[in-house]
Amino acid sequence: MRYEGPIYRPPSEAESLLVQATIGCPWNRCTFCMVYKNGPRYRERPVDEIVADLHEARSRGVPVRNLFLPAGNTIAMRTERLAAVCRAAHDIFPELGRITVYGSSQYIHRKGASDLRRLAEAGLTRIHVGLESGDDRVLSAVCKGTCAAEQIEAGRWVRRAGIELSLYVVLGLGGIEASRDHARLTAEAINRIGPDFVRLRTFVPKVGTPMLDAVINSNFTMLGPHGVIRETRSLISLLDVPTRIASDHYTNYIDVAGRLPDDRAWMIRVLDQALKREEKDFRPFFVGRE
């Protein structure tokens, strides 16, 4: 098995086989992300190399039911190549149930609805997408390279293609100034998309990023624990589509998870109880190093 550069996977892919399909990130400009700032530059691995790694994994005799294809934006891979990898994976692992990639909305949008259908037919079953926010002001400030309208259209195309959609929201990404709009407009975008999952992350400034510089220089005022919890409460209160909320990350102040709409009242109660705790009782501020 061959790997190059940072290899990240979502917590939900902890039991998945990781076979690298792309290297780096083709965008690599988000001001809050440090993963590929020092390289390597984005490129696609040759399909024959990827297939060779799949065969090597098969030779070890362990059943593979879930496959995750790093790196940071594998949906940007040329459609015919990614489809070929998906078909090969299903041939090599007859028991395979899920193939998943990371993909940002702008590259999903470039694919278009027809290419997403081609990927679904080839066996791609889930895409993890960093929505981050539905507020165009926040998206522009963090150089996300997309806007709410594009994210909504891209997300709806994924769902119509029959591919599961796992959206990530970064709580606190708008700071104190944009917190209300960040929650409200993010909820509006999610409601229009109707994803299978909404995964919550809390903004933590990372080493070597412009966002950390902005925090240090007081150009960005972070939310404290209560602010993040209130933003989470607002977001969950405004969501009106069936989806699953997951809080599976070390950055979060509190684990609040469940299905909407069934578990909304319970999640709101958990958040209200958390707001009664003193802020010093939550995890301390820290600077991320990965």
Residues 221-238 pLDDT 10s: 999 999 999 999 999 999
Q: Quick one: pLDDT band at residue 288, thresholds 50, 70, 90?
A: confident
Does the structure show a pLDDT above 80 at 190? Answer: yes
Lowest mean pLDDT among 26-40, 126-140, 265-279: 26-40
Gap between the Cα atoms of 74 and 21, Å rounded: 7
Mean pLDDT of the region 98-121: 98
Three-state SS at 104: coil
How much is the pLDDT for 108?
A: 98
Does the pLDDT value for residue 2 go beyond 90? no
Q: Does residue 142 carry a pLDDT above 80?
A: yes
Q: How far apart are CA 163 and CA 157, in angstroms?
A: 9
What's the mean pLDDT when you consider all of the chain?
96
- Which pLDDT does position 278 carry in this prediction? 97
pLDDT in tens, 39-71: 899 999 999 999 999 999 999 988 999 999 999
Bond before 40 cis per omega within 30 degrees = yes
pLDDT score for 37: 86
pLDDT given for residue 8 in this prediction: 87
Provide the phi-psi class of 109: left if phi over 0, else alpha when psi is between -120 and 50, else beta: alpha
Return d(Cα 163, Cα 175) in angstroms, integer. 32
Contact 107, 25 (CB under 8 A): no
Cβ atoms of 42 and 24 within 8 Å: the answer is yes
Q: Supply the pLDDT for residue 6.
A: 87
pLDDT in tens, 193-202: 999 999 999 9
In 3D space, the residue among 114, 113, 44, 24 whose CA is nearest the CA of residue 85 turns out to be 44
Q: For position 290, what pLDDT does the model report? A: 75
Question: Residue 207: pLDDT above 90?
Answer: yes
Q: In the chain, what percentage of residues exceed pLDDT 70?
A: 100
pLDDT of residue 248: 86
Q: Which residues contact 62 (CB under 8 A, 6 or more apart)?
A: none
| Helix or strand (DSSP H, E) at 150 | helix 148-160
Residue with tokens 């090597």: 56
